[in-house]
Chain A
Amino acid sequence: MRVEFDTTVLWGAFHSPSGPCFSLLALAAQRTPVLDGFITDVIGAEFWWRATQQGVKGPGQRVARTYSEQELGPFLETFEVLLAPTSMARAPLSRSLGQNASLVGLPLGEIRVLRPAHLAGELGLIDTVGTAARVVPGV
């Protein structure tokens, strides 16, 4: 299953290291045959900008906060394998996928952008969520 991770998944993993988003990134980063996940350069840049400049609120946090390079380092270094050039070349359009799917040269169905909880349920990482997984183009 080929999946593009967006910043929602990155933030979910960063804030909840025992949650489904972390589990999904971990599965993909270990190159399991069940999940071929990747992050594009645009997603990585957006995550970095929000983390270091704009700030973000985690679960239960009352105010947005920024993070230092030192705090972000281990997270980004661990998951940088998902940003490998071989992955980038396969998804050059990143977030504009939904509007420009034809330009990618692949049918939209070949890249699945699913809600993390649904995907984690499909892979048995959490109890299956009641509703069916659905494709969400251009998150």
Chain B
Amino acid sequence: MEILSPEDRVVLWRAAVDAEGARRETLVRTIAKEIFESLGALDMYADRYAQLTIESLGILDDAGLFASDSLRRCLEALHEPGGGVELLAAEIAGLLRDAAGIEHLGVQRRIRAVEMASQWREHLLLREPAEPGYLSVADVAARYGVSTQAVYKWLSKQRIAGTRGPGGSWRIPAAQFRSDTRPAATRERLDALQAQLISLHDGSDLPAEEELGGQLRTGG
């Protein structure tokens, strides 16, 4: 396995962003391969995850989110110790949730984006934490279905507690997320609801005939 340098990965990403048509598709797949070959750290090294990676980047590209600066930063840091691959996986999950809101993708691909975000999330949360009692930025982002940038913002504004570890990565005490014991909605349920609502509003800009008739009769 040949690992690209951080600079090479950014050059590759930039080339993909600037390219069009078949060349762009090829470059996006090359980046997907680079990511996929790093996923062993997440125990995701199987064919179906190669497909998940390729499909995820494809949807992000069609949604106009492949060129996100946050994705570039995570690609650059992919092989950094302290969870580079986890950060990238969490960022892809967050971007997929954003993609679910891009209407031109169509209902089926928007729902698929939610499903894939859930898959990335599950595999992040299933692995053993690097340090018992502490979470990483990727863990928190995956747990709550937000972007890694949101978690960095919570840390910088001290909305959640965290300290920098020896390597510079954040150590976030897990206990602070268990202090609220009120009933809560699970992320799985929220993902299912998101998909249901996308489906419910499919074509909802076209009023039903009886509704339109009622509006016309009342002069609405």
What residues make up the interface of A, taking CB atoms closer than 8 Å to B? 1, 14-19, 22-23, 26-27, 29-34, 58, 60-63, 65, 71, 74-75, 78-79, 81, 84, 86-87, 122-125
Whether A84 pairs with B153 at a CB distance below 8 angstroms is: no
Chain B's nearest CB lies how many Å from the CB of A11? 12
Report the Cα distance A15→B101, complex, angstroms.
11
Query: For residue A59, which residue of chain B has the nearest CB?
Result: B205
A31, B182: Cβ atoms closer than 8 Å: yes
Residue among A18, A60, A71, A79 facing the most chain B CB atoms (10 A cut-off):
A18
Contacting residue for B200 out of A23, A60, A71, CB 8 A: A71
Q: Which residue of A lies closest to B195 (CB)?
A: A17
Q: Which residues does B use to contact A, with CB under 8 Å?
A: 97-98, 100-102, 110, 144-147, 149-154, 157, 159-160, 176-177, 179-180, 182-187, 189-190, 192-194, 196-198, 200-201, 204-205, 207-208, 211-212, 215, 220
Q: Is the CB of A30 within 8 A of B205?
A: no
Name B146's contact: one of A62, A71, A84, A124 (CB within 8 Å): A124
Which residues of chain B are within 8 angstroms of A14 by Cβ–Cβ distance?
197
Q: Indicate if the CB atoms of A30 and B201 lie closer than 8 Å.
A: no
Would you call A81 and B185 a contact (CB within 8 A)? yes
Chain B proximity of A3: nearest CB distance (Å): 13
Structural contact, A33 and B185, CB atoms closer than 8 A? no
